[in-house]
Amino acid sequence: MKHRILLSNMMLTLVLLLSLVGTASADDEGPHPMNANPPPVDVPSGSAIISNGTVSLGVDSLGHVNFAGTGLLYLPTGGEVLWVGCFCEGWGAADAISGTQGWSSIHNGGIFNVALVSFTSTASTATSVTTVGSILRVTHDYHPSPATQFLYEIDVTLDNISGAPVDMRYTRDQDWDVPPSPFYEFVTIQGTATEPTVLYADNNGFQTPGPLFGRGSLGAVGDFVDFGPTDHGSLFDFGFGIVPAGGSVQFKIFYGAAGNEANALGAIAAVGANVYSLGQYSGDPTGGTPNTFIFAYRSPPSPVPVDIRPGSCPNPMNPKDKGVLPVAIAGTADLDVTQIDPATIRLEGVAPLRWSYQDVATPYEPYTGKADPYQCTTAGWDGWLDLSLKFNNQAVVAALGPVANGEVRVLTLTGNLKAEYSGRPIYGEDVVIIRYR
């Protein structure tokens, strides 16, 4: 299949060259594509090639990758992994209740039921807003990761714009063609077994990414390491459950590359991604030189109950206090706090000084969306073990920036579960009142 596709691309290039030089006979005797592969979809305006200086992406206005000679390019090696052979990269979104789906790609089934709302770009960013039928609005916000030069971060937002609940689905796939041995690469997929929002994954990056289609692998399904070498890639079907009318789902995906596997895995860890695919050169599947290409996914954060100053409500915060700020993540029937990786916890971006496991707090609902300083509880232990954290108060105050006496601030806590429990992100918050003493 790839030989036909390559030939087709060469012929199309020839057509373009001939038309550029104005060959007299091009009108009646011009070369024709030799097979049924669809020609590249022409998106005349809006699409963009963006770069962070290490990784470049060709972003189509409809949100998929591959535009004007660039797919995913690793600049240090000049290695291009997607705009090679067939242009097989795409996304799809669906509502499994109404059976409505749409997808966007060049050669993975083209475009179906996806309409452009807007596309904007700069030299390093691109934002595509589209709709799938009258059911979903899909936003792909491409920007450099603040955590690593090796990854582009893509914030994906799926809005339910129908008047009814939807069963929200998203699919992304890509045919890795890894230089310097394109069409003969090793592929690794990890993290799918423990991540509940991954419904299915395999190494067939040639499939149409409509999320409601059946799947057929090229020999590897779910999690696997260094499968190949052969001509393949990866596909991920994600499911987010029932989302009410007007509701939305947000998650992050990443595209990028590094010069070896260690740097690739470091970049994946740095962004907190918990599911990923690697495409690697047939000559070095272990070291991952000269370039390891990356697709990664960071699932939507799970809300967790956070209690600043357990037993105290409201929660005073004294900017002059040079001691510790106690904070608990409260365990529940659904949250075993020993599954949380304490080293990943940040309160307003600040790491804890130390932690221990004690029953010191009782959850207050809602876990998030708090604004009132009395949305808290004085209740202490409740029989469920908590993760008790101590932060340097001055470091947290510095992270808050200027504060005024009596001001009410919502503090956010982020982190991840341990890798063996999916590594998925968690998110929580609590409210403090600034009180100079």
Positions touching Ca ion (CB under 5 A) are 175, 177, 226, 231, 285, 307, 309, 312, 315, 330, 359, 361, 376, 382, 384, 386
Nearer to Ca ion, 159 or 307 (CB): 307
Q: How far is the CB of 155 from Ca ion (least distance, A)?
A: 27
How far is the C-alpha of 144 from the C-alpha of 75, rounded, in Å? 14
Least distance to Ca ion from the beta carbon of 94, Å? 25
Which one, 48 or 376, has the nearer CB to Ca ion?
376
Of 356, 350, 341, which is closest to residue 391 (Cα–Cα)? 350
Whole-number Cα distances in Å, 43 to 67, 243, 294: 9, 32, 26
CA distance 93 to 186: 28
**Cβ contacts of residue 237 below 8 Å, gap of 6+?**
169, 170, 171, 198, 199, 200, 201, 211, 215
Nearer to Ca ion, 138 or 187 (CB): 187
Residue number with CB closer to Ca ion (384 or 427): 384
3-state secondary structure of 400: helix
The smaller minimum CB distance to Ca ion, of residues 312 and 394, is found at: 312
Q: Is 126 helix (H, G, I), strand (E, B) or coil?
A: strand
Tell me whether residue 173 or residue 175 sits nearer to Ca ion (CB atom): 175
CB of 80 to Ca ion, least distance (A): 12
Tokens in use for 415?
């982190």
Q: What's the closest the beta carbon of residue 124 comes to Ca ion, in angstroms?
A: 27
As measured in angstroms, the least distance from the Cβ of 374 to Ca ion is 11
| Least CB distance to Ca ion at residue 336 (A) | 12
CA 375 distance to own-chain centroid? 32
**Least Å distance between CB 278 and Ca ion?**
6
Q: Are strands 89-95 and 166-174 parallel, antiparallel or unpaired?
A: antiparallel
Return the amino acid letter for 164: A
147-171 in b/e form (b: 16+ CB < 10 A) is: ebebbbbbebebbbbbeebbbbbbb
Residue 185, amino acid: E
Of 327 and 397, CB closest to Ca ion: 327
Q: How far is the CB of 407 from Ca ion (least distance, A)?
A: 17
Given a contact cutoff of 8 angstroms between Cβ atoms, the answer to whether 401 and 436 are in contact is no
Number of Cβ within a 10 Å radius of residue 427: 16
Q: Look up tokens 């990854």; give the residue.
A: 151
> Taking the complex as a whole, how short is the minimal distance between the CB of residue 220 and Ca ion, in angstroms?
13
**Helix runs in 22-145, H state only:** 26-29
24 Cβ contact partners less than 8 Å away, ≥ 6 residues apart = none
Query: 195 vs 307, which CB is nearer to Ca ion?
Result: 307
254/293 with CB nearer Ca ion? 293
State the nearest-atom distance from the C-beta of 6 to Ca ion, in Å. Answer: 12
> How many CA atoms lie less than 13 Å away from 199 in the CB half-sphere?
17
Query: What is the spatial distance between Cα 80 and Cα 178, in angstroms, rounded to a whole number?
Result: 7
Nearer to Ca ion, 148 or 292 (CB): 292
